[in-house]
Amino acid sequence: MEPSQLFKGYNFLLVPFLRTKLASFRHNLYTKNGATLYPTINQFAKQVKKFNSELNPDYYDSDESIHYTTIIVVEDEEKLTDMTSLSSYLKVPKSGFPLDEYKVLRLAWVTDSLEEKKLLPYSEYLFSFPEQKGKVKRERESEIPSDVKEEKEPSRKRKRKSADEDHSLIFEELASPPKLEDIKKKVLADSESLRASTPVSDEEDLKSLSNNELIIHYFSQMAKERKVEGQQFKSLSYLRAINAIKNAPKEIECREDALSIPKIGKSLADHCVEIIETRKFGQLQRQQESTEAHVMKELQKIHGVGTVISEKWFNHYGVRSIPDIFEKVPESEFTDAIRLGLYYYYDWNQRIPREEVTAHSEFVSDVGKKIDPKFIVQAVGSYRRETKTCGDVDFFIMKEGCNDETKLSQFLTTLVIELFKSGYLKCSLFPAHDQLLKFLTGGQLTDKKFCRRVDFLAVKWKYRAGALIYFTGNDILNRYMRTLANNKGLRLNNEGLFKPKRSVIDEANKMGIRLSKVHFKEDDWILVEGEDEEKIFNLLGLKYLEPKDRNIGNLSEIGGFRL
């Protein structure tokens, strides 16, 4: 799969410019996704004019383009104490350079954008120097008259009381994380209470699985373990093996059977034999029992914590458990997202029984109907596939014939406000926008113990089929259908099935280039189908699968095309 060009036109000034193996891996990932990297201002300054003429106008105001797309990325926050240290690491020339005109962002902006597969707003990732944080706080406090300081807490309470009347205050309150001491109390209490309980699980009955299904089961887990470690290539080799096994014409009974399958080498073949003979996978078990692998996996279950942060916490601060975080990690490391992720750590990592998801769906839908009965609030994701448990609750917001983003946004905004008033919504994991088309949050029913991860997405009616296919999944089916579309010279995404314009095809033929090698722009595509799921399946040469039949993993064929 070709890397995306997510950072095309972006220039990263990395500070400090690290040369460790991990940093080199990250740098390679940035450049593969279109970014241009610079360790010093001098090197960048020579290219300013060139870059300014090549920038993509879709992302920024042209008058400020070079300042918007040139990002100073802080790779090691501990080495930067003030603007002087920043200038020193960037080797600013004596003639000077307007550093204050550029955004200084934490490394998490880059990694989170890659994980979300979209450019995230800067506001959540702005880097503040330690000295500046204290200075700003002191300046703010000094500006408050002494007689007002005593009323500080009551005034905050008054502001919360008025939240029902002021929409902006509602979103502000949702985005405000609890105090660190409250987070610690809840995490420790949850840890104790859950030790004695048995979490809900959707683990398959391994005894009933065929050889191929069992191998796929274990290889899937190993792929996740390797991904957590940051070993993307090893993870990918397991994923490729999984897809190859799904295409296998027969069950694997011996080493020779495994070696006859493309993408399976000697090492993976040995693993297949071990799994068939013992019904276990020793390497996976050892990996899961490894202290580092286990801790990294647990840390990355925290919302807002990815590979880079978990590695830093493990290697630099010596974190070995979730409670360790509060004793060893500096408070400055806790972003609002991480604070909320910690506060709801145990809640959001519990599987949700299907019956509870149904209750969430009924409650939210009823609130939506009271606002406007013409709008559809539909639970999607694994719930639509009729799985016994779900990881979170995903909702689509739609209205028949409505492709107006303003109307969709108005309804979603009102829905969020009403759900907040009801006490259902507990937080916001999504930056406030003038036009709200997506909202990531946590929701809790009054009679349930856990707050659950809940996502809302407003969908245009003309794109509903593409969105339903994409968000219903599962991942294996989605990857297969996208690959099939690419092989046919088409593109399938969360809006629908697209074909290239005739002019693009003619140009590719003229140059003797295959369509799969063409670097398309967004306006090179024409929507073929976005409203009917069955038509999209059929256009790809597949028989239609009902949502409940899309739990691909135990199925070997779909409409004549083997997975």
- Record the pTM: 0.60
| Burial class of 552 by CB neighbour count within 10 A (0 to 12, 13 to 18, 19+) | buried
Q: Strand (E) positions, 159-243?
A: none
Contact status, residue 57 vs residue 31, Cβ threshold 8 Å: no
| H-helix segments, 443-552 | 464-472, 475-487, 502-511, 533-539
Model pLDDT, residue 63 = 34
pLDDT by position in tens, the chain (length 563): 445 678 887 888 887 777 776 777 788 888 888 888 877 666 665 554 344 333 333 333 333 333 446 778 877 766 665 555 565 555 555 445 555 556 788 888 888 888 777 888 777 777 765 544 444 344 334 433 444 333 434 433 334 444 344 567 777 778 788 999 999 999 988 877 765 454 444 444 577 788 999 999 999 989 888 887 778 788 888 988 998 898 888 999 999 999 999 889 999 999 999 999 999 998 888 877 666 778 888 999 999 998 889 989 999 999 998 999 999 999 989 998 899 999 999 999 999 999 999 999 999 999 999 999 999 999 999 999 999 999 999 999 999 999 999 999 999 999 999 999 999 999 998 776 668 999 999 999 999 999 999 999 999 999 999 999 999 988 889 988 998 998 888 999 999 999 998 887 887 788 777 766 666 676 788 999 999 999 999 999 999 999 999 987 644 445 444 44
Model pLDDT, residue 236 = 87
Task: Identify the CATH assignment for 352-459 out of 3.30.460.10, 3.30.450.20, 3.90.1010.10, 3.40.309.10.
Answer: 3.30.460.10
**Under CATH, what is the fold of the domain 469-562?**
Beta Polymerase; domain 3 (3.30.210)
Task: Give the Cα separation of 497 and 463 in Å (integer).
Answer: 9
Query: What is the DSSP annotation of 97-116?
Result: --GGGSEEEEHHHHHHHHHH
Task: Give the Cα separation of 549 and 555 in Å (integer).
Answer: 9
Residue with tokens 């990250």: 26
Query: What is the DSSP annotation of 406-447?
Result: HHHHHHHHHHHHHHHHTT-EEEE-S---SS--EEEEEE--TT
Question: Strand 452-458 to strand 103-106: parallel, antiparallel, or no bridges (unpaired)?
Answer: unpaired
Greatest alpha-carbon pair distance for the chain in Å reads 83
Task: Identify the CATH assignment for 209-289 out of 3.40.50.1170, 2.70.98.60, 1.10.3130.10, 1.10.150.110.
Answer: 1.10.150.110
Show Cβ contacts of residue 530 under 8 Å, excluding neighbours closer than 6 positions.
462, 463, 464, 465, 466, 495, 496, 497
CATH architecture of 11-134: 3-Layer(aba) Sandwich (3.40)
Model pLDDT, residue 91 = 55
Contact status, residue 186 vs residue 335, Cβ threshold 8 Å: no
Reference 332, options 112, 111, 128, 108; nearest CA is 128
Contact status, residue 478 vs residue 550, Cβ threshold 8 Å: no
Task: Give the Cα separation of 422 and 416 in Å (integer).
Answer: 10
Domain ranges of the chain: 11-134, 144-175, 209-289, 352-459, 469-562
Q: Which residues of 193-215 are buried (b: 16+ CB within 10 A; e: fewer)?
A: eeeeeeeeeeeeeeeebebbbbb
Model pLDDT, residue 517 = 62
Q: Report which DSSP code applies to 71.
A: E
Q: Which residues of 303-326 are buried (b: 16+ CB within 10 A; e: fewer)?
A: bbbbbbbbbbbbeeeebbebebbb
Tokens of residue 225, six digits: 């373990």
